[in-house]
A and B are shown apart, each in its own frame.
Chain A
Amino acid sequence: MRPLDSPSKDAREAPARAAPPQGTQDLLFEAARRLRRCEAALARVFEERGFAEVIPPSIEAAEVFAESAGGAADALRAVDRHGHLLALRADFTAQVARIAATRLSGISPLRLYYRGSVVRESAAGSGVPRERLQAGCELVGEAGPEADAEMLALAAASLFALGIAPGAARIAVGTVGYFSALIAAAGASHRLARALTDAIDRKDLPGLTLLCTREVPPGKARDALLMLAQPPRPQAEATALLSRAQQLAPGPAASSALQRLTGVLELAQARNLGAELEVDLGEVRGLGYYTGLVFNLYAAGAPRAVGGGGRYDTLLGRFGDPRPAVGFSLDLDALVPLARPA
């Protein structure tokens, strides 16, 4: 590189935009080859298990992303010449839900997969790119716990297809229903609910304790909320955690969310996932449209989750075809450097 203080000899030498926009990248040669090999390995696993590819457009009406985590505000938006507010794809799941609810309405079950990039604003300096490479699957029209377990198993199999060793992968599993029942039972305002979500998400036990003693009336809901910031339990100890949570469940909604999760865990275990499952009822981050099971995938060597997903039973209803669905996506920016696809 030239020293920063040396004058440019030629105006053409340093064009105004020499680098791609912040948070995006050029993938050249070997990097491009690696990405394509990973995508191909994933597509093989997805198709073997009966999933078919859809390729949604790279722009959508911005409102399609309204319920995605981060909402439409995190999308890169522009007004077209007709005055329509459009957004670059910010979330595949919302697009696939739109497709399933409109062109594929009434066909159940649907097993769909996708690969490509989403564009979402990310915190400066966090190392999370704005344009993120993803691949993922959605199973539409199946409401039962068997479908949840199928997607957990497929998520684990995807990691293995990329050459991630079973011992190097973990899946943290939780449920939205329990937390939202606690929030309702505690009579929490919107502001308090957000503060509780943030404290639980950050495992901030001191902050959560302070919030609960100040603003949540004593009782089962408060005790259960405090439990959510405790460290997660490996599957071996999950039964103890779940029965403690069950004792503190403030009502039928919380109880049934836990029963459902227990059922899913049993089915997942029967499928022999190969990856370690951890139960964490404090998985409450960026839930957006999720309504039941939620999970995050971790792989040794990546400093953040490398994927995640869950059940979203109300999202398709927004597009006129209320049907249950469950899915997950993988973060290929994080996974490709770790991957050794066959």
Chain B
Amino acid sequence: MITVALPKGRTLQATLDRFARAGLSPEEDFAATRKLIVPARGAQARFVLLKDPDVPLYVERGAADLGVCGLDHVLESGADLLVPLDLGFGACRLCLAAPRDSAVARGWRSGDSGAEKGRSLRVATKYPRLTARAFGRRGVPLDVVRLSGSVELAAVADLADAIVDLVETGRTLEENGLVVLEDLLQVSARLVVNRASYRLKLEELLPVLERVGGPA
């Protein structure tokens, strides 16, 4: 029996399509049921539906054997996982952005953090760990403002000097007068696997990995 953690977000359908290649489909539609755990149709497997950032934790602690979520959540969680497959969909970038005419935006390219001298750079984000890591390399003193949504607003409303957030098309940024200063990470959906499951359930997992990662 294997347990698969599915991400509730935008990549759910693409994820289900991939698992269908391996002959694993939920026997009930998640949209139509209130069940939290749904068995796979005619197979020794079951699915759990989770918010994307929770997927790495379920898999790390073995409540699920494998799962799918964006590389952003894999790295932000710091979870100790195996990441054998890049599924390719859900592509976007984790970017540093700031208001177009701000000191930060003007100074960034010339190697200046743009923050007032003697003050930390205030950065709003849903990704405090990745933000700290990106800035740690540059030696910029940092004041991370951890938010749970509407991150662009933080820069516009002067809660922060800059933001670190996912950018897909860049339209939301543009409409709010923000520009991307730097790409920090290329994100796409990853298949993650629990370390012990990878050893103990190898025979069950290998065919699934091959088909989920292979051609349609």
Contacts and interface: CB of A to CB of B under 8 A. Distances in A.
Interface residues of A, number: 27
Interface string A295-314: 01011101111000000000
Contacts of A168: 200
B84 A204 contact: yes
Nearest to B59: A303
B60 A303 contact: yes
Contacts of A83: none
B83 A203 contact: yes
A109 to B, nearest CB: 31
A267 B81 CA distance: 32
A300 to B, nearest CB: 5
Interface string A202-239: 11111100000000000000000000010110100000
B15 interface: no
Nearest to A123: B78
A172 B85 contact: no
A130 interface: no
Contacts of A304: 62, 80, 195-196
B80 to A, nearest CB: 6
A67 to B, nearest CB: 22
A287 B191 CA distance: 26
Given A126-B60, A303-B61, A298 B83 contact: no
B142 to A, nearest CB: 19
B209 A231 contact: yes
B205 to A, nearest CB: 8
Contact of B199 (A124, A170, A204, A206): A170
B79 interface: yes
Task: Describe A's contact surface by its main secondary structure.
Answer: loop
Contact of A126 (B80, B197, B198): B80
A334 to B, nearest CB: 9
Nearest to A233: B202
Interface in A278-295: 278
B202 A305 contact: no
Nearest to A278: B199
A302 B196 contact: yes
Given A126-B79, A302-B62, A203 B84 contact: yes
A303 B60 CA distance: 7
Interface in B171-216: 193-200, 202, 206, 209
Of B57, B78, B79, B199, most buried by chain A (CB within 10 Å of CB) is B199
Given A125-B78, A170-B199, A303-B61, A202 B83 contact: yes
A129 to B, nearest CB: 13
Contacts of B61: 127, 303
A299 B62 CA distance: 12
A48 B38 CA distance: 49
B86 interface: yes
Contacts of A305: 195-196
Interface in B45-89: 57, 60-62, 77-86
Contacts of B78: 123-126
Contacts of B202: 231-232, 234, 278
B215 to A, nearest CB: 16
Contacts of B193: 203
A170 B196 CA distance: 9
B83 A204 contact: yes
Contacts of A126: 60, 78-80
A161 to B, nearest CB: 20
Nearest to A334: B196
A207 B83 contact: yes
A288 B193 CA distance: 25
Contacts of B80: 123, 126, 304
A205 B84 contact: yes
Contacts of A302: 62, 196
Contact of A203 (B60, B82, B197): B82
B83 A303 contact: no
Contacts of A123: 78, 80
Contacts of B197: 303
A170 B200 contact: yes
Given A125-B57, A231-B206, A303-B62, A298 B84 contact: no
A202 B80 CA distance: 8
A298 B199 contact: yes
Contacts of A204: 82-84
Contacts of A127: 60-61
Given A126-B78, A204-B84, A298-B200, 5 more contacts: A123-B78, A123-B80, A124-B78, A304-B62, A304-B195
Interface of B: 57, 60-62, 77-86, 193-200, 202, 206, 209
Interface of A: 123-127, 168, 170, 172, 202-207, 229, 231-232, 234, 278, 296, 298-300, 302-305
Return the 5 tightest CB-CB contacts between A and B, nearest first: A303-B62, A206-B86, A203-B82, A298-B199, A203-B84
5 contacts: A202-B83, A229-B84, A231-B84, A299-B200, A305-B196
